[in-house]
Amino acid sequence: MPVKERVLEKRAVARIVRHLPRRPVVDVPADVTLADIGLPDGDLLAIATDGLSEEIATGLYCVPATIGWVLVMAAVSDLAAAGARLVGVATNLNLPREFGPSDRDRLARGIGDACRSLNTVTLGGDVNVAAQLTAAATAIGLVRRKRLLARRGARPGDAIYLSGPAGLGNAYALSRFDPARSPRRLRFRPRARIDFGPLLAGWASCCMDTSDAVLATLDELASVNRACFAITEDPAAFLHPHAAGQCRRRGLPGWLALAGCHGEFELAFTVPRAVERSFLRACRASRLRPVRIGEVRKGRGVTMEFGGRPVRLDTARLRNLAFEAAADVGGYMRALVEFAREVAVAGAGTGKARAPGRAAPKAGTRAGGR
């Protein structure tokens, strides 16, 4: 009898997918849907769709230009994680009547600026009148059949990397929902790492983007690869400066910026130890700066170093906090703080030093919400 899926969001998706006709081109989990349309060079069509609804409803995104920018980057980021070459982006916009001409202009400029920054074009779409603002985008790309990046393929001993500093997404969320302790509102303009994807296709053993934040991403990769993804570096070494600053002002441990459900669009990937040096030389030649954060080990789940010893994190529970909270931002933030407190206690139980970053505040400490 199969083991019951612990992550509630994945369980909900599985119930939907079982009713749909599907014929995957490649029998490995990837961040995109692939279709063989008979291209002469054997390329596969790569399609990724993403949308913004709860982010808008909760007020996380309230600036039209930001909505347009993130909409494009969210869809393109999945193509990057598959090593695809970007063709273009189509958008679907549901606009309320009170969303006036100036708002529409700013939304469209955000979409256009994002496309131009990626050197791509829009492929049309649809615009509707609706009760509330929602938006979706579909990114189209091409990927070589023999150079496809997937979520599966990591082996014990592989190094774990990020394409860049992490935690900006959660730093932005903290600045939005707890503005009193933010000196200024962060300008959120994350970029999909489409520049990294094609290079990784020649070196990485698995890959996934961090749109749901780093710990959720590593949890998914650990599950798919049936391995332990161990964070061995101090998070302070790979946190985005804004993430470190937002956590420090609230007395939160820096690693909590990796735990919230609002990520950015960096890539998390693994590289076999045998080719790691060659990979880094290729990155330097392309002026790319990946950050090593850990290694794949035998076992299961996600671990983090506390005082030099690994502590396993209950990442399934962590992912479920966001799914269960729905639009209750304050409740979700309090649950995250409680999670950090319990991890700190577990880390102290090793008999070693405290967790990386500052100690978590006591349960009930205000960490956000309105």
- Is a pLDDT exceeding 70 seen at residue 99? yes
- Is a pLDDT exceeding 60 seen at residue 26? no
Range in 26-35, 88-97, 176-185, 307-316 with the lowest mean pLDDT: 26-35
Q: CATH class for domain 159-348?
A: alpha beta
pTM, 2 dp:
0.85
Strand ordering across the sheet containing 291-297:
206-209, 267-271, 159-162, 291-297, 228-231, 301-306, 309-313
Q: Rounded to an integer, what distance in angstroms lies between the CA atom of residue 117 and that of residue 112? A: 9
Give residue 348's pLDDT band: very low, low, confident or very high (50, 70, 90): low
pLDDT at 28: 55
pLDDT at 115: 97
Give residue 357's pLDDT band: very low, low, confident or very high (50, 70, 90): very low
Identity of residue 208: M
Q: Rounded to an integer, what distance in angstroms lies between the CA atom of residue 247 and that of residue 64? A: 27
Contact assessment for residue 174 and residue 72, using Cβ atoms and an 8 Å cutoff: no
CB-count burial class (<10 Å; 0-12, 13-18, 19+) for 115: buried
Q: 86: which strand partners?
A: 141
The string of pLDDT tens digits covering residues 54-93 is 899 889 999 999 999 999 999 999 999 999 999 999 999 9
pLDDT at 40: 76
Q: Rounded to an integer, what distance in angstroms lies between the CA atom of residue 135 and that of residue 123? A: 15
Q: Count CB neighbours of 148 within 10 A.
A: 20
CB-count burial class (<10 Å; 0-12, 13-18, 19+) for 352: middle
Range in 87-96, 167-176, 182-191, 253-262 with the lowest mean pLDDT: 182-191
- Is a pLDDT exceeding 50 seen at residue 105? yes
Reported as type and span, the H/E element at residue 13 is: helix 8-17
pLDDT at 35: 83
Topology of the domain covering 31-146: 60s Ribosomal Protein L30; Chain: A; (3.30.1330)
Contacts of 123 (CB under 8 A, 6+ apart): 87, 88, 89, 90, 140
| Average pLDDT, rounded, for the chain | 85
Domains of the chain, by residue range, sit at 31-146, 159-348
The string of pLDDT tens digits covering residues 125-160 is 999 998 999 999 999 999 988 888 889 999 999 999
Contacts of 230 (CB under 8 A, 6+ apart): 160, 294, 295, 296, 297, 302, 303, 304, 305, 310
Average pLDDT over residues 257-270: 93
The fraction of the chain above a pLDDT of 90, given in percent, is: 58
Q: Rounded to an integer, what distance in angstroms lies between the CA atom of residue 70 and that of residue 81? A: 16
The fraction of the chain above a pLDDT of 70, given in percent, is: 85
